[in-house]
Structures are given as structure tokens and as C-alpha cells.
Amino acid sequence: MRISDTIRINNNLALRLTLLKQKIGNQLRHPLILNSARIFTGNILIQAVSFLTLPVFTRIYHPEDYGLWGLFIFLSGLIAVVSCLRYELSVMIPESENEAAVLVKVAKTNNLYTFLLLTPVFIAFAGIIERLLHFSGLSWLMFLIPLHAYNSAFNSLAAQWASRKKKFRQLSVLRVIQSISNIVLSFVFGYYLRWEFKGLIFATMLSVVIGNIFYFLFIKITYIICFINCHLKLFI
């Protein structure tokens, strides 16, 4: 083989490798790949931190504490699923921003009405619910269930709106912040304050509130104003 042929083959190979590298780079820079990577990285970090701190919390909290906490999360989760009447899932569908904003306001209004409706019910029937669920001596916690459901439903709605606005990096960061705040608060309430299961419950509730506050910081100020106006109109 001639030297010139060898050089030509090497040049063609180098050109193909360069084109292949550019094609792979373009694919990796595709918005879908980048956004999926951001969400995936955040979820991996959350799971890693939770796994590493698990041995610590198993020495702070007892199985009974996790049982009561799990029951609390289960009940509030059931309410949160239907609190917005699933309007939060439709936020991604409309092409018009105005239509999406209307769906957000409808979902928030339904969430608020559900909270206002169920809170007196849980308070009035706290004793009956306590006996049915074996919440021995914990009737005072009943009113916290609809409150946490309200915050959780709004958290889910805010996440859908952030996804619609393609704020996937902020969404991933917010989830990490919320998870870490839950871990830190659970440690403080359990190790220093000795709140037992109450530490798990209040840490979860406060972490969701912290997440909602950070959502306010990342979502457009116009929709924060819409949120405030939506709630004020209900009382005027």
C-alpha cells in the first residue's frame, strides 16, 4: 500500500470519528437528554443521601415511630391525590399560557376548598378516627393531616408548573433541598428534642413547606401574585 493511500485512509477515518463525535455531542446536548439527566441526577443524590443516613435514623427512631409516621403520610397522601381534583396533571397540556394559568388557579382553588372542608371534619371526628385507626392519644394530630395534604398538593402543582416552564434544573435542586431539609430536621427533632414520631411528622411537614417557599422563589412573580389574589378573592 502506498503512503498516500495510507494517509488518505487515516484522514477519512479521522473525519468519520470527528463527525461521529459531533453527532453524539449534539444528541447529548438535546434538551430532552439534558433535562432527563438533571432530574435523574437529583433523584440519585436524594436516594444516596437517604441511604447513607438510614443507619443513623434507625438508632434515633423506633419502629413504632415509623409506623405512626407512615400512617400519617398515608392518610395525608390520599387526600393530596384528590385535593386538586387532578387538575395539576393537566397543566402541561394547553399550548396557551393563559389556559395553563387558569388550570393552575382552578387547581389551587380546589385544593384550598378541600382543606377548608376537611379540616373541621377531622377535628370534629378526631375521637372516632383515633379509635378506628388506633391513633391512641393522638387526636390532637388529626387537624395536621389535611394541612399536610394541602401543602403536598400545592407542592405537586408547583412541580408541574415548573416542568411546564422547563425549569428542570431548578426543579431538581428544589427536590434535593427539600429532601436534605427533611433529613436535617428529622435529626434535630429526634436526636436533640426527642420528639419521637412527632419529629418525623413535623420534619416532613416543614420540609414540604420549605420546598413550597423555594418554588415561590423560582416561579415567576406574576403567578405568585395570582396565587395570593386567588386566595384573597375567596374571603372578600
The tens digit of pLDDT for each residue in 58-84 reads 999 999 899 889 989 999 999 999 999
| Nearest-angstrom CA–CA distance, 109 and 102 | 11
Domain boundaries, the chain: 30-233
User: What pLDDT does residue 66 have?
Assistant: 92
User: What pLDDT does residue 43 have?
Assistant: 82
Angle at 43 between CA 37 and CA 45, to 5 degrees: 100
Average pLDDT over the chain, rounded to whole? 81
State mean pLDDT over 23-48: 70
pTM, 2 dp: 0.79
Helices (H), 61-167: 63-83, 97-124, 126-133, 144-164
| Nearest-angstrom CA–CA distance, 84 and 86 | 5
Phi-psi region of 94 (alpha: psi -120 to 50; beta: other; left: phi over 0): beta
| Nearest-angstrom CA–CA distance, 171 and 63 | 32
